[in-house]
Amino acid sequence: MGWVYLAHDDKGVRRAVKEMKLGGSTSQAELADALRLFRSEAEFLAKLRHPGLPLLVDVFDLNGKPYMVMEFITGDTLEDVLVKNPGFLTENRVMAWAEQLCEILSYLHEQKPNPIIHRDLKPSNIKLTANGVVRLLDFGIARSYKPGKIRDTISIGTARYCPIEQYGTAQTDGRSDIYALGATLYELLIKQAPPESTSRLTKNIPLPSIKTRNPQVSARAEGIILKALGLRPEDRWQSAKEMRTAIRSAFPFLI
């Protein structure tokens, strides 16, 4: 959907500048949708204030292209961490990140008047700072939950992290982000993303055991993650706050 540049402002402060991708073979309808999503991302970030989210600095147009200037966040993405680590990440480390991510999602999902659903939570969209704090990035396909709406206007996301309802069968809500968080934690512990939710549903493809792939994972961690990966929204944790409480109860020494 665009490019992100590392830049410096007139005070020498490093910034991330996001430029919307225009042109190519994109149809007018697709371009209109992309522009709407880009503007929507800026609107979301402008009103959000949380240490786990990037700060929006400015928005402007230049030569017909829209731009966002954001806080530049140093550190590796969790995808980078996975690639750089030759073995499995420790359960305690992963569940500590999970607890932080649940707190960030709780903040988003409790926004008034409408909850904000990220819809693209995955390892490459989460940065880990030098002091061990996780930051959730890229609100390019985030949306507001609208009571009474049957389904999302645009079905979009990253396949192995998308719950079944994100393929257009229903409206996404906070439980959709919980599924993506479960898929992310699953991958972080066994270095393999889960099968697509559509394949699990239509082809009855089972969800491989986490403990079989990584015996060092405890039953309590696996149970929390598998519940987040429930195919039906009602089978998952019903809120990020509920999932966070379960993590804090199972891993009190991490807090």
Which residues are catalytic, by number? 120
67, containing H or E segment: strand 65-71
In the numeric block, which tokens belong to residue 115? 């909850």
- CA separation (Å) from 246 to 98, 130, 234, 243? 11, 27, 17, 5
Single-letter amino acid, residue 126:
I
Q: To 5 degrees, how large is the angle CA 176–CA 67–CA 144?
A: 25
User: Cβ neighbours of residue 202 under 8 Å, at least 6 residues apart?
Assistant: none
Residue spans of alpha helices (H) in the chain? 28-47, 78-84, 91-109, 174-190, 197-202, 210-213, 219-228, 240-250
Q: What is d(CA 141, CA 204) in angstroms, rounded to the nearest whole number?
A: 28
- Rounded Cα distance between 121 and 155, Å, is 15
